[in-house]
Structure 1
Amino acid sequence: MSRGPVRVLRLGLRPYAEALRVQERCVRAARPGPGSSPGESVVLSEPAEPVYAWGLRGAPEAAEAARLRARGAGLAAARRGGRITFHGPGQLLAFPVLDLRRRRLPLRGYVAALEALVVRLSRRLGLPAARALPPPYTGVWVGDSKLCAIGVHCGHHITSHGLALNCCTDLTWFDHIVPCGLEGKGVTSLSRELGRHVAVEHVLQPFLDSFQEVFDCTLVFSEDPGD
């Protein structure tokens, strides 16, 4: 089955909740309906403020939530797999909204494709040590430290949520949680591993090049999330 282009929405520095709202509009637009022409998208943003978000495996206890909020972070529930993690400035959030049935791609294969995308991106930037690990260690790792977290949702074959890649993130925010519920593992960033400042804007084009290659698609660009 032929596929149309994937629309890229570059939100820039935006609140996490706003990126989620844009994603939900894209999900609705991707569902087939009377007189509609479904299309695929990828929403790219950088969280404007620190926030701790958790997936379907449960919210933090009230005492932990209060402790995290006292540090100046927001709290958010997300309809994705995975446990609690941190989102904040210096991190690239990518929410692909893709039709896995049209792509004939199983969910586990889709997660592996996201991992392959970030591994490819890392190599483009000069970090060949980045790699994917077998389950349950979802994401992309450098040694025992997670570089990129992945948590996805799929409903009616349409994906949402996706990945959070640490570019120049303040990693001390992760000290207050067990990221993704994995004890004894660390967190790292492109800036730390490459020994230079790597801003989100420096990563966007290599990310899009890798996205096109992994998902075998063409991209069109939209700056207006209301399109």
Structure 2
Amino acid sequence: MLQPAVRLVWLGQVPYAELLALQQRWLRRLQAEPGPEAGALLLCEPAGPVYTTGLRGGLTSEETARLRALGAEVRPLGRGGLATFHGPGQLLCHPVLDLRPLGLRLRTHVAALEACAVRLCELQGLPGACARPPPYTGVWLGERKICAIGERLGAGPGGARPMVVSAVEGTLRPTAWR
């Protein structure tokens, strides 16, 4: 039996708002047209500095105002976690997937994303990158988090199919966002 296809889409350098719009279009397509594709991995580099905040916040109103005054976009998202920086020089991977035909549970999916990030670090000559045990997500190099993973799980048509919309961002140059 053939594995369901996952399409890889390289977007190049794009504004964050455009990336989110594309992600929503892919999700609607996947929900409306169940078929042989299990989804897509949207890969890009942010065109400018963006700070996204999760359901737990992560930025005070003063920090938000300061970042906007410096020219950064601040965008609240419906994902878990706190604040995450996205900017030029980073690789963002936004998977839009139906996990069921892939035979994956959410935690297995997250672990696979972490393993990919660890392998990428190894290929770039950065040994020692590792994921931490749940409930933590992401990849660390020493004490520096170099890959963040934010997930939102929703239902497909009729509420029967688990759909995952993810954001994976990483940089090979660990930086602080403050």
Query: What TM-score results when the alignment is normalised by the length of structure 2?
Result: 0.86
Change (3 A) 1:38 1:69: farther
Looking at structure 2, the residues matched to 56 and 38 of structure 1 have their Cα atoms a distance apart, in angstroms, of 33
Determine if the alignment matches structure 1 residue 151 to structure 2 residue 150.
yes
Question: 1:31–1:38: 8 Å Cα contact kept in structure 2?
Answer: no
Moved more, 122-131 or 58-67: 58-67
- How far the C-alpha of 1:59 sits from its partner, in A, is 6.2
Q: Which amino acid is the alignment partner of residue 113 of structure 1?
A: A
Distance 1:31 1:3 in 2: 19
Equivalent residue number for residue 166 of structure 2: 161
Q: 1:17 to 1:42 in 2, by over 3 A?
A: same
Match of 1:117 in 2: 116
Displacement of 1:148 in angstroms is 0.7
How far has the Cα of 1:63 moved from its partner?
A: 2.2
Unaligned runs of 5+ in 2: 156-161
Contact 2:5/2:36 (<8 A) preserved: no
Partner-residue secondary structure (3-state), 2:169:
strand
Where structure 1 has 5 or more consecutive residues not aligned to the other structure, the ranges are 177-227
Partners of 2:4 and 2:101 within 8 A in 1:
no
What is the rounded CA distance, in whole Å, between the counterparts of 1:16 and 1:78 in structure 2? Answer: 12
Matched residue, 1:63: 62
Secondary structure at the residue paired with 2:62? helix
1:84 and 2:89 aligned: no
**One-letter code of the match for 2:5?**
P
The equivalent residue for 1:6 is 6
Return the structure number with greater strand share. Answer: 2
Tell me the TM-score normalized by structure 1: 0.69
User: Once the 2 structures are TM-superposed, how far is the Cα of residue 168 of structure 1 from its aligned partner?
Assistant: 5.1
Q: Which has the higher contact order (CA 8 A, sep 6+)?
A: 1
- Aligned-pair CA distance for 1:120: 1.6
Contact 2:57 2:81 in 1 (8 A): no
Aligned equivalent of 2:24 = 24
Structure 2 CA distance for partners of 1:113 and 1:104, relative to 1, 3 Å = same
**1:10-69 per-position Cα deviation (integer Å, ceiling 9, x unaligned):** 111111111111111111111145xx5363100001000101111122363322211221
Aligned to 1:37: 35
Conserved 8 A contact 1:100-1:106 = yes
Partner of residue 201, structure 1: none
Superposed counterparts of 1:142-221, under 5 Å: 142-156=141-155, 157-167=162-172, 171=175, 174=177, 176=178
Q: Give me the CA root mean square deviation.
A: 2.0
| SS of residue matched to 1:79 | coil
Q: 1:121 to 1:95 in 2, by over 3 A?
A: same
Distance 1:168 1:129, change over 3 A: closer
- Of all paired residues, the percent bearing the same amino acid is 49
Paired residue type of 2:105:
P
Separation (CA, whole Å) in 2 of partners of 1:107 and 1:165:
20
2-structure distance, mates of 1:74, 1:164:
16
What is the total number of aligned residue pairs between the two structures?
171
Work out the CA distance in 2 between the residues paired with 1:75 and 1:47.
Answer: 13
